[in-house]
Structure 1
């Protein structure tokens, strides 16, 4: 048996308890091929998550725990076959105690396959144009934002749903290469992996995107409950709106209830957004989304300020409006702060907002103020638009030079 990660061991423990009801530490030690000290550490964490109850020399499931809410068969198969979950905690080898890793962020969102065509300009209706180049790559707002956050040093758990099709292995391979600490990948047997068709104008550096959400929209309450142990231990919870709305709302409720700071990137715009606002601590719309939310057409700094005030009045504590080439407007504690745009050689704006959101949450997780985090994220996004592809995230080491340029 290959050595299992901590999360893999815990999934095995829960699966065994669902069948055997009670196990001793020694039995688990022998089955998992680890020391009883390691088993005790695993059981401490599971008990903290209210999943088990430790007894003298062993463990049982917590009283009243609805084991059907946790898809352990699918989870265990995925863990063992793909090793898609890595540890979100670490063991202090000197003291044998569990301790949380820093910068703990949970990202719920989409994974899409991006099919990109680069054109001299956008075609007119009915016009056929030759593409100078085309490519197939990884995308999805959730995956992109989790990748960007991981690139900037945050400890990330990312959850998405994909299909069982020709793109599913592509999704796994991409996510395993991103440096994201934890990936919770659920498969739909009925819907395909999400796709996005993207036109990129070489003339303007702008993009047009059509998304088929596919499996992203089949996320269920059961799927969310299966990830609850991760959600309740997070410090920052980030999501967007390319996933099933009711699943998003449930995950936000769980995160909020357990003290996480909830950040919503309201993209793409959804007319049910007002239902989510009581759960949101920070909202990060672009100008279009801010306009749709408030009915105020955002065309300049003054109208952006009016929209920020209106969003704040809806119950959102911190408002971050991204304004493309005009920078970023922050509104918090009754105060406005403007973060100016940085000069960059724009080649592709696809994923710029995702780069910003990922870097923003990573900096907030490090304890930075909103202004500090937004300034950093603005610089990171300015580097992202100099690269082709939504998931082609720059290295964080480049940010300092951009800020000092």
Structure 2
């Protein structure tokens, strides 16, 4: 299971609040905690804990947060030789409500200093991967560069199109599996998804652009998937939610692991859902995942 993750690292500054603050409102936080985060790092740490050989390409700052992030990645089974120190470490300021809902403000920092040259320097590792896992918290030229390398060697590309933004048809045509949530799906297609037929219409538009499969994460409603051979809905199990931060990232990391282990698309989604459901019962975006969650072939 050789998985390369190109993406972001953050230190998450989490403020527990009774509810998400409203415009013009001042609200006292009941608790403040620091957690490791960043969509790329979250996905890499999930895959590493699930037994994959994970190589991470990204940046941290030349600061104490950066050192802590690198140490944590290594402890969670992620190779960090391609992690560069530049600028200030990215941060996420997170409000976590009593309901488990969250609101996030990102300071990109070193993440916006990931370059095409940095990607090219790690070309061989990308070419020999089973899966390349991408998100959009680093500059788009770096994302494009990684996808171009992988596509030329027929490496499977999973793209989590978050934060929501427009994506070129050229990049979409290289994607094996696209994993938007409903908001990101609407940004990409212009289709509001009120029911399953809307989901089918929106996902079909992406398949027409060359995407191999679309897996839409629907939060507590589970997920919907479509490729050229099948479509379906995977229900979510009810769990006691403590923190939804990083749930989608855990889903993506586990999805990559499931596919690397030869599971079908549907079974990979079922597996990823179970991992994500566990993660939301823990605090932080990178909780320790028990070894019992590793794929049992």
State the TM bucket, normalised to the shorter chain. Answer: over 0.9
Q: How does 1:375-386 map to 2 (within 5 A)?
A: 375-386=270-281
Which residue of 176, 180, 198 maps to 2:94? 198
Map of 1:149 onto structure 2:
47
The alignment status of 1:285 with 2:183, answered yes or no, reads no
Q: How does 1:364-383 map to 2 (within 5 A)?
A: 364-383=259-278
Per-residue CA shift, 1:375-397, capped at 9, x if unaligned?
Answer: 01011111111111111143241
Q: How does 1:6-405 map to 2 (within 5 A)?
A: 103-188=1-86, 191-202=87-98, 204-398=99-293
Per-residue CA shift, 1:85-136, capped at 9, x if unaligned?
Answer: xxxxxxxxxxxxxxxxxx1111101001100001111122122212121111
CA contact (8 A) 1:147 1:393 kept: no
SS in 2 for 1:230: helix
CA contact (8 A) 1:379 1:399 kept: no
- Cα 1:180–1:289 shift into 2, 3 Å: same
CA contact (8 A) 2:50 2:294 kept: no
Deviation at 1:299, TM superposition (A): 2.7
SS in 2 for 1:386: coil
Q: Distance in 1 between matches of 2:240 and 2:293?
A: 15
- Cα 1:169–1:229 shift into 2, 3 Å: same
Q: Distance in 2 between matches of 1:387 and 1:328?
A: 21
- Runs (4 or more) in structure 1 with deviation over 6 Å come to none
Q: Which runs of 5+ in 1 are unaligned?
A: 1-102, 401-405
CA contact (8 A) 2:5 2:40 kept: yes
Q: Distance in 2 between matches of 1:365 and 1:399?
A: 12
Deviation at 1:275, TM superposition (A): 3.9
- Cα 1:344–1:183 shift into 2, 3 Å: farther
Deviation at 1:244, TM superposition (A): 1.2
Higher relative contact order (CA 8 A, sep 6+): 2
- Which stretch of the first structure deviates more once superposed, 324-333 or 166-175? 166-175
Per-residue CA shift, 1:154-188, capped at 9, x if unaligned?
Answer: 11111111121232211222112112245521122
Q: Distance in 1 between matches of 2:110 and 2:244?
A: 25
CA contact (8 A) 2:73 2:79 kept: no
Q: Distance in 1 between matches of 2:185 and 2:13?
A: 28
Across the aligned residues of Structure 1 and Structure 2, the Cα RMSD in angstroms comes to: 1.5
CA contact (8 A) 2:189 2:202 kept: yes
Deviation at 1:207, TM superposition (A): 0.6
- Which stretch of the first structure deviates more once superposed, 351-360 or 161-170? 161-170
CA contact (8 A) 1:194 1:212 kept: yes
Q: Distance in 1 between matches of 2:17 and 2:266?
A: 37
TM-score by length of 1: 0.70
CA contact (8 A) 1:175 1:183 kept: no
Deviation at 1:273, TM superposition (A): 4.3
SS in 1 for 2:142: helix
SS in 2 for 1:123: coil
Larger Rg: 1
